[in-house]
Amino acid sequence: MGDVTQDLGRIQKMLENGNYDEARPLLKEYLAATPNDPLAIRFYGNTFAYTGFLGKAKKIWHDGLKKFPENVDLLYNYALAHYLQGNLFYARRYWKKALKFSPEDSEIYFNLGQIARDEGRLKLAINYWRKALQFKPDNVEVMNNIGVAYASMRSFGKASIWYKKAVKTDDNYALAHFNLANALFETGDLEGSQKHAESAAKLDPASHMETATLLTKKIKDKRAGAPAAKAV
């Protein structure tokens, strides 16, 4: 096969270009000659995972973990496979194992937060997401998720704080603008609500134009029903 490092690098480029079916037999051949390469094992599983055969990928990663039980990437992918199949118990178990060997991995904390959210444990989810931000402080998706968790608990003031952090970090994040518009509406900041609803609709009209229009109508109706200000 030539230089094995060169071979794997060439295969990796195929994977990066989405040529999973083409890469699969090459990885199989590579692993026959170099069976103790955890990166190749992970890549081989990826060729199945990205083509709709998650169960096959999971088995490959599981077998890889028998040889390399402390490999963070294999642990991560194996946990992710369980998560995608709805097996939250095993997803949590293997992400926590990965965390032992990579304690500053923001993605793992993020995913543990996702599991907690799916289980309805919102305070725990927030704790995990805040931990994720310690290691990747500019992750606007995490900020938005924390806002959504607070909004789900009807803590709209706290939700607004986190949505504002998200849009301050990335002013083009349409979803955070829309969520902030809803939270500000709930807190009575109608002007701010309308501003961010308009921003969401402008940034991503396909996703937010209709709902932003409905929110704008609610703002208009609320203003119309508000008592007039006292004369000075």
Gap between the Cα atoms of 141 and 49, Å rounded? 24
pLDDT recorded at residue 231:
38
Quick one: 117 and 191 in the same domain? yes
Q: Quick: pLDDT tens for 101-130.
A: 999 999 999 999 999 999 999 999 999 999
In the chain, the number of structural domains is: 2
**Residue 229: per-residue pLDDT:** 42
Q: Which residues contact 26 (CB under 8 A, 6 or more apart)?
A: 7, 11, 14
Same domain for 111 and 152: yes
**What pLDDT score was predicted for residue 91?**
99
Report field, pTM of the whole predicted structure over 0.85: yes
Q: Same domain for 84 and 109? A: no
Q: Which domain holds residue 2?
A: 1-88
Tell me: do 128 and 68 sit in the same domain: no
Instruction: Give the model confidence (pLDDT) of 30-41 as tens digits.
Output: 999 999 999 999
Kindly state whether residues 138 and 181 are assigned to the same domain: yes
- Whole-number pLDDT of residue 69: 98
d(CA 115, CA 100): 18
% of the chain at pLDDT higher than 70? 94
Is the same domain home to 151 and 184?
A: yes
CATH for 45: 1.25.40.10
**Pair 63, 115 in one domain:** no
Model pLDDT for residues 158-215, shown as the tens digit of each residue: 999 999 999 999 999 999 999 999 999 999 999 999 999 999 999 999 999 999 999 9
Query: Average pLDDT, whole number, for the chain?
Result: 95
Residue 94, in any domain of the structure = no
pLDDT at residue 53 greater than cutoff 80: yes
Cβ-based burial of 207 (10 A; exposed 0-12, middle 13-18, buried ≥19):
middle
Residues 189 and 113 in one domain: yes
